[in-house]
Amino acid sequence: MKRLDIRNIAIIAHVDHGKTTLVDKLLIQSGTFRSNQQVEERMMDSNDLERERGITILAKTTSVKYNDFTINILDTPGHADFGGEVERIMSMVDGVLLIVDAFEGCMPQTRFVLKKALEAKVTPIVVVNKVDRDNARPQEVINEVYDLFIDLDATEDQLEFPIVYASGLQGIAGLEPDKLEGDLRPLFDTIVEHMPAPDADESAPLQMQVTMLDYNDFLGRIGIGRIYRGTMNLNEMVSVTTRDGEVKKARIQKLFGFSGLQRVEQKTARAGDIVAISGIDDINVGETVCHVDHPEALPLLKIDEPTLQMTFLVNNSPFAGREGKHVTSRKLRDRLMSELETDVSLRVDETDSPDAYVVSGRGELHLSILVENMRREGFELGVSKPEVIIRMIDGQKMEPAELLIIDVPEEYTGPVMETLGQRKAEMVNMINNGFGQVRLEFIIPSRGLIGYRTEFLTITRGYGILNHSFDSYRPLVPGAVGGRHAGVLISHETGTATTYGLMSVEDRGTMFIHPGTEVYEGMIVGEHNRDNDLVVNVCKEKHATNVRSATKDETVKMKAPRMLSLEEALEYLNDDELCEVTPQSVRLRKKYLNKSDRERYEKQRRYEAQPQA
């Protein structure tokens, strides 16, 4: 039996190919808002960080009306680090809109999200977006999409996908690239015509699977998912089959549907609907909510394991407690545990020290977003260098590897290939796209990508574009891969950096601080020109004398310091260094602030590295 009035779809694409902008226009043109209502751009990106960075971090659910149909739309992230969101959502929908940029074509995340969609056997519609941009090449991009479908072993039915051409920014679409209509009606019509209606046996016992989590201080944990069969009623007693196979009883205290950007309270929901429920305190992703007398579990959803880990520590620097309001171990632990309420791709493990926690995630961006959110909430913490998670598979050590796709002007291909060769990257493809641009494809150990983005932008003078996504676990590459080769300049004492002090050491390397910056002993203030660390005194003051000459105090010009963002600071770290993160500052420091302690640690490290007789 089908619910003919409903279509459940997900929008998937590589980052920045226009998913969220297209959803904006679908919402507006469906009449979801009043004609005089003010709406923001990228309205689905409700988080501050999403708005600032122009990326989607969390999957969002919305619903629009078109004629007599309800179209439930799930907007998914495009970044590899949030791929876990995409995987789970495939179980909620019957079809996907695959958005592909009319110039960039198929990118790493296009492959990743399409692979997940084809594995879930959902119906695809391809939307070639941004056909109005300069250098658009829609026909070539469609050929790339067909090649990608074939490469991913799509079935004959999946290869019969309809194609819609669109400009999400202008809110127009058409079935030919050069014949776009004045609105998105061709896209709406294609969704209604080609997307299958959900199977929905309303007379059978209730079955709903939780696919996403949210959290509310008043309602607690909220489970979001699709009702596969039966009906669900407010205040109804239900059975919950947990991931461990246990069955427990609970009551549906709140039941929400979706309309536009709002959650709407309702008393009943039917098979085929996507709903949010509260009242089950420890509900988790993949668990099944069933009729109280028929606890039948749906197959558990697979949640990909983390590939990267960092240690989060209580801030113990000399400047601890100056800027943040949450500085204790208890506050840090409570915050990390609360993150687990909604982020199922995250792992938090306690260590021998009560002040340190190992946090594992899907990538640098995944973990740096967590750190950035915490600093904005008033936390102070120290963070260690990101490290990949090595696994034993069939008795062999394996490490994560990434598919890396780079677009660069031709003149930079040599330096890029040379630096990636040093990081144990293996080239798998090279395409000259014309326009003087070359696309390079590599398989590279995830270790080799840590810290590479900054080096890459320097090599290509900012003209290169780098994208990557998780590929597979591969045998561990022996020896060091990647890492920083330069040493650092370390502050000799605690005080305030002076112009005279910085001028006296700026020929030794690149500075990270301005005159007037407060520093402490063991803080990293710059990068050394050589591969060893150097202790410098940036607080040194010029001694006053009674001898003056006419030209003595001419204005001096200092080089502008290199200011590191949070992501750049995390990438920059070495094993013996930490990043101190506070609401107002990001500082690099040595784990051991005292010089003699550092020398003792280095001797111990070298001794342990020697083969023992």
| Domain CATH code at residue 287 | 2.40.30.10
Domain boundary among 194, 228, 245: 194
- Distance in angstroms (rounded) separating the CA atoms of residues 208 and 94: 15
**Is there a domain that residue 304 lies in?**
no
CA dihedral 328, 329, 335, 336 (to 10 degrees): 150
**Per-residue pLDDT at 594 exceeds 80:** yes
Q: Give me the pLDDT at residue 190, please.
A: 92
Q: Give me the pLDDT at residue 56, please.
A: 47
Based on the fold, state whether residues 157 and 214 are members of the same structural domain. no
Higher pLDDT, residue 541 or 52 = 541
- Distance in angstroms (rounded) separating the CA atoms of residues 604 and 478: 23
**Per-residue pLDDT at 53 exceeds 60:** no
Tokens of 237: 């007693």
**Per-residue pLDDT at 461 exceeds 70:** yes
- Distance in angstroms (rounded) separating the CA atoms of residues 108 and 402: 10
Q: Which of 250-259, 347-356, 398-407, 452-461 has the lowest mean pLDDT?
A: 452-461
**Per-residue pLDDT at 452 exceeds 50:** yes
Based on the fold, state whether residues 76 and 152 are members of the same structural domain. yes
**Is there a domain that residue 355 lies in?**
no
**Is there a domain that residue 313 lies in?**
no
Based on the fold, state whether residues 499 and 585 are members of the same structural domain. yes
Based on the fold, state whether residues 53 and 23 are members of the same structural domain. yes
Q: Measured in Å, how far apart are the chain's first and last C-alpha atoms?
A: 73
- Distance in angstroms (rounded) separating the CA atoms of residues 120 and 94: 9
- Distance in angstroms (rounded) separating the CA atoms of residues 59 and 63: 14
**Per-residue pLDDT at 73 exceeds 90:** no
Going through 116-253 in order, the beta strands assigned E by DSSP cover: 123-129, 163-167, 172-174, 207-216, 220-229, 231-233, 237-241, 247-251
**Is there a domain that residue 99 lies in?**
yes
User: What does 357-422 look like in DSSP terms, one character per residue?
Assistant: EEEEESSHHHHHHHHHHHHHTTB-EEEE--EEPPEEETTEEEEEEEEEEEEEEGGGHHHHHHHHHH
Mean pLDDT of the chain: 83
**Per-residue pLDDT at 422 exceeds 70:** yes
Q: Give me the pLDDT at residue 608, please.
A: 73
Count how many domains the chain has: 4
pLDDT, tens digit, 9 for 90 and up, residues 74-93: 877 655 556 666 777 888 88
Task: Mark out the alpha helices in 156-263 (DSSP H runs).
Answer: 156-159, 185-194
Q: How many C-beta neighbours within 10 Å does residue 125 have?
A: 20
Q: Give me the pLDDT at residue 221, please.
A: 82
- Distance in angstroms (rounded) separating the CA atoms of residues 594 and 590: 9
40 falls in which pLDDT band (50, 70, 90)?
A: very low
Based on the fold, state whether residues 44 and 182 are members of the same structural domain. yes
Q: Are 59 and 74 in contact (CB under 8 A)?
A: yes
- Distance in angstroms (rounded) separating the CA atoms of residues 561 and 513: 6
Tokens of 224: 């979001």
Residue 396 structural domain? 391-475
Q: Are 213 and 223 in contact (CB under 8 A)?
A: yes
Based on the fold, state whether residues 174 and 212 are members of the same structural domain. no
126 falls in which pLDDT band (50, 70, 90)?
A: very high
The model's pTM is 0.77
Q: Give me the pLDDT at residue 582, please.
A: 93
CATH value at residue 117? 3.40.50.300
User: What does 551-586 look like in DSSP terms, one character per residue?
Assistant: TTTPPP-PPPP-PPPHHHHHHH--TTEEEEE-SS-E
Going through 217-332 in order, the beta strands assigned E by DSSP cover: 220-229, 231-233, 237-241, 247-251, 254-259, 262-265, 268-270, 274-278, 288-291, 308-314
Q: Give me the pLDDT at residue 42, please.
A: 41
Q: Give me the pLDDT at residue 402, please.
A: 86
- Distance in angstroms (rounded) separating the CA atoms of residues 481 and 450: 9
**Per-residue pLDDT at 50 exceeds 50:** no
Based on the fold, state whether residues 470 and 503 are members of the same structural domain. no
Based on the fold, state whether residues 65 and 170 are members of the same structural domain. yes
pLDDT, tens digit, 9 for 90 and up, residues 355-399: 999 999 887 878 888 898 899 899 999 999 888 889 888 889 999
Percent above pLDDT 90 for the chain: 23
Binding residues: 16-21, 129-132
Q: Are 524 and 565 in contact (CB under 8 A)?
A: no
Q: How would you label 40-55 residue by residue, b for 16+ Cβ within 10 Å and e otherwise? A: eebbbbeeeebeeeeb
Based on the fold, state whether residues 10 and 158 are members of the same structural domain. yes
pLDDT, tens digit, 9 for 90 and up, residues 238-269: 998 887 788 889 899 989 888 776 788 889 99
Q: Give me the pLDDT at residue 33, please.
A: 46
- Distance in angstroms (rounded) separating the CA atoms of residues 458 and 479: 26
Q: Give me the pLDDT at residue 45, please.
A: 41
154 falls in which pLDDT band (50, 70, 90)?
A: confident
**Per-residue pLDDT at 58 exceeds 80:** no
Domain boundary among 275, 291, 307: 291
- Nearest Cα to Cα of residue 248 among 233, 238, 236, 234: 238
Binding residues for GTP: 16-21, 129-132
On the 0-12 / 13-18 / 19+ scale of CB atoms within 10 A, 366 is buried
SS3 517: coil
**Is there a domain that residue 343 lies in?**
no
Q: Give me the pLDDT at residue 330, please.
A: 93
**Is there a domain that residue 118 lies in?**
yes
Q: Give me the pLDDT at residue 417, please.
A: 92
279 falls in which pLDDT band (50, 70, 90)?
A: confident
**Is there a domain that residue 213 lies in?**
yes
On the 0-12 / 13-18 / 19+ scale of CB atoms within 10 A, 309 is middle
Q: Give me the pLDDT at residue 545, please.
A: 61
Q: Across 125-134, 209-218, 469-478, which has the greatest mean pLDDT?
A: 125-134
CATH value at residue 450? 3.30.70.240
Domain boundary among 270, 291, 312: 291
Based on the fold, state whether residues 466 and 526 are members of the same structural domain. no
Based on the fold, state whether residues 128 and 266 are members of the same structural domain. no
Based on the fold, state whether residues 565 and 524 are members of the same structural domain. yes
User: What residues contact residue 533 under an 8 Å CB cut-off, 6+ apart?
Assistant: 487, 488, 489, 490
**Is there a domain that residue 227 lies in?**
yes
Q: Are 310 and 251 in contact (CB under 8 A)?
A: no
